[in-house]
């Protein structure tokens, strides 16, 4: 009695033949987004893939998306304290006495810390 071989259909990615090339390339030049990786793959091979297929391919070569957090700002508490005592408090006192007009605008501040998106783990 012999064992029967069953051959299931297992589609292979068109990029399989390029996997080592792209693995080396993307480790040297990690794409910031999947769209950037899509564009580079299409530019180098002429193969156009969907974003999902590119994600699957990047995962197959060992790359994972990593969310990168905000770089914390280094606040100088001594400078903040000095500003509060020498600048802000006297200005607020003048405003209370009617000698100065003082406006407080909430949520109209600049974010001084850089925000980063995602970058693939290499």
Whole-number Å distance between alpha carbons of 24 and 36: 16
| Owner of token pair 């400078």 | 79
Q: For each successive 10 residues of the chain (122 residues), what is the average pLDDT?
A: 82 85 89 91 92 91 78 77 90 90 66 57 56
pLDDT score, position 52:
93
pTM score, whole prediction = 0.51
pLDDT at 66: 75
Instruction: Enumerate the domain spans of the chain.
Output: 16-67, 77-121
* Residue 66: partners with Cβ closer than 8 Å, 6 or more residues away: 118, 119, 120, 121
- In the structure encoding, which two tokens stand for residue 83, read together? 């500003």
Taking the alpha carbons at both ends of the chain, their separation in whole angstroms is 49
């Amino acid at each position: 009695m012999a064992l029967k071989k069953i051959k299931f259909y297992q589609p292979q990615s068109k990029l399989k033949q390029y996997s080592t090339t792209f693995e080396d390339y993307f480790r040297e030049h990690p794409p910031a987004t999947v769209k950037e990786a899509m564009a580079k793959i299409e530019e180098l091979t002429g193969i156009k893939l969907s974003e999902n297929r590119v994600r699957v391919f990047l995962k197959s070569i060992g790359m994972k998306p990593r969310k990168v957090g905000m770089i914390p700002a280094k606040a100088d508490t001594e400078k903040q304290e000095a500003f509060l005592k020498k600048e802000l408090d006297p200005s607020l006192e003048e405003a209370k006495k009617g000698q100065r007009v003082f406006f407080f605008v909430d949520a109209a501040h600049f974010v001084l810390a850089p925000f980063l998106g995602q970058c693939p783990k290499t």
